[in-house]
Amino acid sequence: MAMLTVSHLSKAFGENPVLEDISFTVDQGEVIAVIGPSGSGKSTLLRCINQLETADGGEITVCELPLVRTENGKAVYPDKQTLREIRLKIGLVFQNFHLFPHMSVMQNIIEAPLRVLKQSREEAVATATELLRKMDLSEKADAYPCELSGGQQQRVSIARALALKPEILFFDEPTSALDPELTGEILKVIRELAKEKMTMVIVTHEMAFAREVADRVIFMDGGVIVEQGTPEQVFGNTQSERTRQFLRRYHSE
């Protein structure tokens, strides 16, 4: 079952086209890695799907709910209620975590379940406690974000997103703001989520990780999808010269 369908998506900032004719699907339980050089539009793609940017044209469907359609050449969005419903099916993990600094780890995680899903406190705390255990952060429940390492903060932000039980989880370079020795702990968490068949779309510069954990890899450059396929296809049997150049640069670094 397709959890996410993007077809012919386009987006420009002013005169500057950033996404052009982007099409792909994500099936339930799939892990998609999005790779590509800086400025190729990876973040913008994620932000369009997460309603942080509005698309100019094309279609996005999330769990059978149309997020955007194009009618007479104009992008059309549904009503506020539907947009919110769609938003709750999607979790987003930011590069810079964006935890709420004035709230403890526990409060960060239970805030949305309490106020958005109107869960009881017991239920929200129980879910959060379980998530913290999974993230190996049980003893940090009462800590504040500023007291945590970058890796720990990122794990809290993953737990915060998971607490709403999203159907799909998006990551925008979840390890890029971390010291190299801390990236491992985040990759481990994502690996475990993949084992549990969590549907995920991960923008990453960790090529080895993308190759290992992804079911499919999407290579973007200049606002278009240049190549997509299994890791074996994209990394092992590269079709496009642009992809090859990009991967070569990565290997030489």
> Using CB under 5 A as the criterion, which residues of the chain lie in contact with Mg ion when the complex forms?
43
* Residue from 166, 175, 182 nearest 85 by CA: 166
Q: Cα Rg for the chain, rounded, in angstroms?
A: 18
92 binds, among other proteins, ligand ATP, Mg ion, none (CB under 5 to 8 A by kind): other proteins
Q: Which stretch binds ligand ATP (CB under 6 A): 38-46, 81-89, 132-140, 244-252?
A: 38-46
* Residue from 80, 83, 25 nearest 228 by CA: 25
244 binds, among other proteins, ligand ATP, Mg ion, none (CB under 5 to 8 A by kind): none
Confirm or reject binding of residue 38 to ligand ATP (CB under 6 A): yes
Listed in order, strand segments (DSSP E) in 145-198 are: 168-172
CB of 158 to other proteins, least distance (A): 13
Output 118 or 251, the one with its CB closest to other proteins. Answer: 118
Percentages of the chain per state (helix, strand, coil), in multiples of 5:
40, 30, 30
Confirm or reject binding of residue 153 to ligand ATP (CB under 6 A): no
Output 138 or 245, the one with its CB closest to ligand ATP. Answer: 245
Output 165 or 249, the one with its CB closest to Mg ion. Answer: 249
Confirm or reject binding of residue 10 to ligand ATP (CB under 6 A): no
* Residue from 41, 49, 46, 42 nearest 65 by CA: 49
Which residue has its beta carbon closest to ligand ATP?
43
| DSSP class per residue in 16-85 | EEEEEEEEEEEETT-EEEEE--TTSSHHHHHHHHTTSS--SEEEEEETTEEEEEEETTEEE---HHHHHH
Q: Which helix (H) or strand (E) holds 14?
A: none
Residues making contact with other proteins (CB under 8 A): 50-52, 84, 87-88, 90-92, 94, 96, 98-102, 111-112, 115-117, 144-146, 157, 160-161, 164
Contact assessment for residue 97 and residue 109, using Cβ atoms and an 8 Å cutoff: no
- Binding-residue pattern over the window 110 to 149 for ligand ATP, x denoting contact by CB under 6 A: ----------------------------------------
Quick one: which of 4, 6, 9, 18 contacts ligand ATP (CB under 6 A)? 18
CB of 176 to Mg ion, least distance (A): 8
DSSP annotation of 86 reads H
Binders of ligand ATP: how many residues, by CB under 6 A?
10
Contact assessment for residue 32 and residue 216, using Cβ atoms and an 8 Å cutoff: yes
Task: Kindly list the residues in this chain that would bind ligand ATP in the complex (CB under 6 A).
Answer: 13, 18, 36, 38-44
